[in-house]
Structures are given as structure tokens and as C-alpha cells.
Structure 1
Amino acid sequence: MDTLVIEPGIGIGDIKLGMSKYEFEECIEAYTVKYQKKAHDPDYFNYVFRVEYDTLGKIIFIEIPSGMITTEFNCVFSGINVFNIKAEELVETIDRIAEYDRDHPELGYTYFFPEIGLSLWRSSVFKDGDKEEEWFKELCVENQEDELRFLYFESVSITAETRV
């Protein structure tokens, strides 16, 4: 399995902040040629890398989801596979590098590290202690498994804008 390096202020893998749409499309084509599988949608890597552009047409935001991409890549920030470590542990680890915004309106779901322009997101909050709660024990096995996935983040993103 290959490694996709997450570098705040720089890029994720070969997709870099400041790239033009044309440069982005060239990178997507290169990923497609190298990693495309028969089971993949032809636009697979367009779904894997979500980008936003500024008014000059340069990339200012890059996001990757955990689901599809983890079958191809280890997604690594500072030596840590961000989709293979529990959310609470990942936040604590990155917080030692750069503090997260403790006043973020979606705290628990979103952790934004403004000094480095890195965000972590999950659609629901679940903690290890929740496994002992009655509401969790009353769920069927399939629903318990669904809840357990929220122990981990679902996406990571970087932005060109940082705040100190």
C-alpha cells in the first residue's frame, strides 16, 4: 500500500495548494493511470480529492475522505495514519504540534488546527466509553458496528489560510 502524505500548507500527496485546475486535473489523471481498478468509477480520484479554488483559480483547500482512499493509501500526517487511529488520540497527538480551536462551533465533530490549517471531521461523535452505555448495548450488532466507525475521523483537510 502506498503512502499519501498530508503536509499542511503544502498539499496532500501530489495535489498541492496553489495548483491551477489544469495542474490538478493532470495529477488526477496520473493517479487514475497508476491506481485505477476495474471496480472503480472512472471519476474515482475526482471523488477522493475534493478541492476548492480562489478567485484566481488556484487551489486553497484540499480534503480527502477515509472510506475509498484507505483501500489504496495510508494517509499520513507527521508519521501517523490519520484514518487508522482513534479520533481522541489523534486530536491529542496533533494538539501537541499545534493547538486546535477550542471554540470551534462544531467541536467534537470538527477539530481545526488554525496554526497549520489542518481540519479533522466526523459526522457523529462516538467515544470508547459509549460502548458501556445502555443505549449502545441495546442496538443490534449491525448498528453497533455502524456507531463504532465514529471512533475515527471521516475526512482530513488542509487550507492555504492559517491563523496564529
Structure 2
Amino acid sequence: MTTIIKVQPGISIADIYIGMLRNDAERCLSNTAYSFQIEYEQDKVSFIEINAEADISCIYNGIDLFKVKATQLIDLLDAISPYDRAESDGCSYRFPQLGLVLWRDINFTEEDMKQSWFQEMSLENQEDTMRSLYFSTVGVFLPE
């Protein structure tokens, strides 16, 4: 069964909020099986990140951030608020006005699947590489 996790850029992921006290955030983390990374400033949450997992859907504005291909997702989000082109490397996209960041380990596209270097990989490696068509993590922070 898929768990729906609400992402509110600049505000929260699930029940963990920017500005939440460390003790409260750690209590929330102890009640979840999902993989979060939290950063703190002055004992308050300043950054929240969640990893993609097979049984979760991270939803923002009706969009599942882990189930839409990266190239399509960037276009959808860029229409809402532009990403920082100076910081984008094809793996990481930061939306400073939204307070949202997306990351994947390699910049991989459907066009790359036609390349000989990809075709020569084992099926197992191809499947692993194809996961990078999608983002691996979603993070939120205070908008700038």
C-alpha cells in the first residue's frame, strides 16, 4: 500500500515543519519508517529532505514528485517558480522562491538510453541507472 506524503515547499514534509523544535522533529522521526534527513539551526528545523521509496508518493500541487520523470517535473515546477539555473547541474534543482530542492545521483535522460554506453550495460545496471530518470530526494527550506 502506498503512503501519501504531503510536501509543502518552504513549510513541511509530512508532519515535520521548518522551525519545529529538534525534540518535536525527532519524535516525529521516531514514528516513521521513512528515511528523512533533517538539518537544524539553533535547535530548530531549517531543512527537511526525504528519500524516494517504493511505497511512498510525495505530493505537491497534485504532482507526485517521485513518479514524474525529472525532465517533465522540472518543466512543471519551473512554470510555477523558476529554478536557480546557476546552481543546476542536471542532478540538483533548487527552487529558491518556493523553498524546494530536488536531487538525483546522475543526469540521465531517455535519450541516454539509446547510447551505446547504456546499451552495453547489463540489464541489472540498466535498471539501476534508469532510476535516475526520476528524482531520488525532495527537500524543503525557507524560501528566499
Q: Same fold (TM over 0.5)?
A: yes
Of the three residues 50, 53, 58, the one matched with 1:64 is: 50
Alignment of 1:13-162 (within 5 A): 13-29=14-30, 31-32=31-32, 44-45=33-34, 48-54=35-41, 56-67=42-53, 70-71=54-55, 73-104=56-87, 106-160=88-142, 162=143
CA RMSD, 1 decimal: 1.3
Is the helix fraction higher in 1 or 2?
A: 1
Name 1:5's counterpart in structure 2: 6
Shift of 1:142: 1.1
Shift of 1:111: 0.3
CA displacement 1:100-125 (0-9 Å, x = unmatched): 01111x52010000111100001111
Aligned-partner Cα distance in 1 for 2:133–2:91: 11
Shift of 1:59: 0.3
Highest Rg: 1 or 2?
Answer: 1
Aligned-partner Cα distance in 2 for 1:102–1:9: 19
Matched residues, number: 143
SS at match of 1:96: helix
Taking structure 1 as the reference length, the TM-score comes to 0.82
CA displacement 1:57-86 (0-9 Å, x = unmatched): 11010000113xx42x31111111111110
Shift of 1:28: 2.3
Matched letter for residue 105 of structure 2: S
In structure 1, stretches of 5+ residues that fail to align are 33-43
In structure 2, stretches of 5+ residues that fail to align are none
Q: State percent identity of aligned pairs.
A: 38
